[in-house]
Structure 1
Amino acid sequence: MSSPQQPFSSTPPRHRMLVIASVIVAVLALIASVTVTGCGSDSASSGSADSTGSAVQACTRALSGTQTVEVAFTGETYPVRVHVPTDADPNTPLPLVLDLHGSNSNGTSQAEISGLDAVADADADGFIVAEPTAAIALDTDDPLPDGNWAWNVPGVPTTAGEYPDDDARDDVAFLAAVIDSLTEQACVDADRVYATGYSGGGRMASALACERPDLIAAIAPVAGLRAGRATEDDVTVLDPTTCAPDRPVSVLTFHGTEDQVNPFAGNDDARWGYSVEAAVSAWADLNGCTDEAATEKVSDHVSLTRYGSCEGEAAVELYTVDGGGHTWPGTGVDISALGTTTQEISASELMWDFFAAHPGQ
């Protein structure tokens, strides 16, 4: 008759220690293979390592459709219009596009001009669109329902020709807070955050890329690309020391040759200054692009100029609209008072294609 199986407690001490050690090693290995990343204040989710060993972000998104999100900043809260495609997977992090309005406008009006909600909805995976509103109030004879506002672009006067007060909201820091807040609340992929903007919003998006390249993978200003401030002695000359990002930021921009607000060739107004080509060339230098610019015609009145062989697989591209005004190519909103709006291209569709092709470093 065989002997009954001995309980674990009767296992020889040396063998028992080896078994315990093996269990501990297995548990530690399991813990090391899982990374928990919270992406929402009321979510509880986890991530895992991908095939390369990198942590995969995981979170749960409660936001869906178009709504207003309150963003806290320096003791105040500010409303931000946010659109999330309704059929987006709530457990999958999505790219974020900041869509910044022009001077004398607001986030709601910008959403109508850009039409990026529809582009986000049409994309197979979708992306989040956020339209914050600036905080410098402008007096106007044509007030908008949500107010007329201007951004605090560092070192640049507003369209009223005045420099913001010293206590004006720091909009570079504010936009960083918007990104942080939506990363938590809307399950944003922090490596795929982009910014576009119209006119003054384009200047603001440019400043954000100059000062916080760690947050922005690419920008696509419309009628407003800058690469830092002009020199104090001559506003038609770019001061290269005022924009020095420590990593490449891909840049796409659109500009009409008949833009009377921010002239393609530049002007001697401190609110604009040096030319569009100077701004594009400066970004090519900042991104370490080594190939000469190459230009091709894409439609009857639109040409595309590309700089190649940039560092970190970045890109710098300019769509020039021959005869185009201070307008958003492809918009369905009547902004004809600002010049000709081409319908030969859609800035919103093209910028999303560009963003999707240029994730962060």
Structure 2
Amino acid sequence: MASPFEGSLVTKTYRNDAGVRDYQVYTPDRAVRGRPMIVWLHGASNVVNGDSRTLNRSNSLVRLAKTFGYSVVAPDESLAASPSGAWNIGDPTTMVRGRGEASIIAGIIRQETKALGADPRRVYVAGHSAGGGMANYVAALYPELIAATAPSAGFPYLMDPTGLAVDTAMGPRRHPMPTFITQGSDDTLAVPALGEITKAAALHGNGLRPSDVVERKTLAAHSDRYVVSLTEYGRGARTSVVYAYVRGAGHPSGPGGLTLAGPALDRRVVEFLLAQSL
């Protein structure tokens, strides 16, 4: 497939017992072994104001890839499996390790970590809407593959605010999972209460309490569309949770595709992810 922008964009296919999915791989220049890899999971694509099923030059992950030196892997949900184009996070099979769509995504991650020669300690998963939910599922079920996660307008694993479901899913592979959460104040689909549940689970998973606030700041709407209230929680290495509350944002992703606000917040997410390592 010819690439409309600098770098290499190819489409591949992965198949396992749970099904078959296409996915795109973007590398900003010649293949460099040991580079980080960010996995992007789109939200519903076949709906009004839905996410793009393909990467494009305006996507922040693509624009920042050369600057920061990472590859992007973007699985595509099948419209045959989901007419809305949303990942099937409500399917009971995908809630279990080794089954369902999460297993397909995990297989793609393993395949491309090897094919790209990516650093297995620096693989990250981000997603929007159902893709944000699936990012949480993949991180819970396959933590040995993921160094950090960034759900935007997403859904927590099994809707559990205590983090106990994540603990059980991770099992002996359990490790802290640094998480950057983006939530819109006016989102009527992934309502703010879901963002709070996701935050509560992430804090528990990283051994943090709501009182473990490192910094609070307000990001003015300069290059982005909205003002963002940013709260960072942490207590030592690899126990970081960032909660970005985007004031005025609804459910659709922002112009950069990664978060609800725009390229400035998108860049913060990328910088957060790349700072983490297994």
**CA distance change for structure 1 residues 284 and 241 in 2, over 3 Å: closer, same or farther?**
closer
SS of residue matched to 1:353: helix
What is the CA–CA distance in structure 1 between the aligned matches of 2:155 and 2:19, rounded to whole Å? 29
**CA distance change for structure 1 residues 248 and 110 in 2, over 3 Å: closer, same or farther?**
farther
What is the CA–CA distance in structure 1 between the aligned matches of 2:94 and 2:235, rounded to whole Å? 42
What is the CA–CA distance in structure 1 between the aligned matches of 2:14 and 2:93, rounded to whole Å? 22
Deviation at residue 225 of structure 1 after TM alignment: 4.5
Deviations 1:9-67 (A, max 9, x none): xxxxxxxxxxxxxxxxxxxxxxxxxxxxxxxxxxxxxxxxxxxxxxxxxxxxxxx6001
What is the CA–CA distance in structure 2 between the aligned matches of 1:229 and 1:164, rounded to whole Å? 12
Q: Does 1:248 align with 2:191?
A: no
Q: Does 1:354 align with 2:272?
A: yes
Aligned amino acid, residue 220 of structure 2:
S
Q: Does 1:238 align with 2:161?
A: yes
- Indicate which of 125, 133, 136 corresponds to 2:76: 133
Using the size of structure 2 for normalisation, the TM-score is: 0.79
Task: State the partner residue of 2:141.
Answer: 211
- Indicate which of 297, 317, 342 corresponds to 2:242: 317
Deviation at residue 296 of structure 1 after TM alignment: 1.7
SS of residue matched to 1:94: coil
Task: State the partner residue of 1:149.
Answer: 85
Task: State the partner residue of 1:109.
Answer: 53
Q: Does 1:297 align with 2:218?
A: yes
- Indicate which of 113, 116, 122 corresponds to 1:183: 113
Deviation at residue 104 of structure 1 after TM alignment: 3.8
Q: Is the 8 A contact 2:161 2:200 kept in 1?
A: no
Greater Rg, structure 1 or structure 2? Answer: 1
Q: Does 1:119 align with 2:87?
A: no
What is the CA–CA distance in structure 1 between the aligned matches of 2:139 and 2:109, rounded to whole Å? 13
Q: Is the 8 A contact 1:137 1:150 kept in 2?
A: no
What is the CA–CA distance in structure 2 between the aligned matches of 1:75 and 1:238, rounded to whole Å? 28
Deviations 1:197-254 (A, max 9, x none): 010000000011111111100001111141x223xxxxxx736432113110110011
Deviation at residue 73 of structure 1 after TM alignment: 1.9
Task: State the partner residue of 1:95.
Answer: 36
Gaps of at least 5 residues in structure 1 are 1-63, 140-147, 158-162, 231-236, 266-274, 334-340
Tell which has more relative contact order, 1 or 2 (C-alpha 8 A, sep 6+).
2
Gaps of at least 5 residues in structure 2 are 1-6, 222-226
Task: State the partner residue of 2:27.
Answer: 84
Task: State the partner residue of 1:59.
Answer: none
Aligned amino acid, residue 115 of structure 1:
S
Aligned amino acid, residue 178 of structure 2:
S
Deviations 1:84-116 (A, max 9, x none): 112x4x342211111001124598535247431
Deviation at residue 299 of structure 1 after TM alignment: 1.7
**CA distance change for structure 1 residues 165 and 203 in 2, over 3 Å: closer, same or farther?**
closer
SS of residue matched to 2:151: strand
What is the CA–CA distance in structure 1 between the aligned matches of 2:136 and 2:54, rounded to whole Å? 17
How many residues matched? 251
Q: Is the 8 A contact 2:123 2:148 kept in 1?
A: yes
What is the CA–CA distance in structure 1 between the aligned matches of 2:196 and 2:32, rounded to whole Å? 42
What is the CA–CA distance in structure 2 between the aligned matches of 1:217 and 1:190, rounded to whole Å? 9
Using the size of structure 1 for normalisation, the TM-score is: 0.62
Aligned amino acid, residue 117 of structure 1:
V
**CA distance change for structure 1 residues 224 and 165 in 2, over 3 Å: closer, same or farther?**
closer
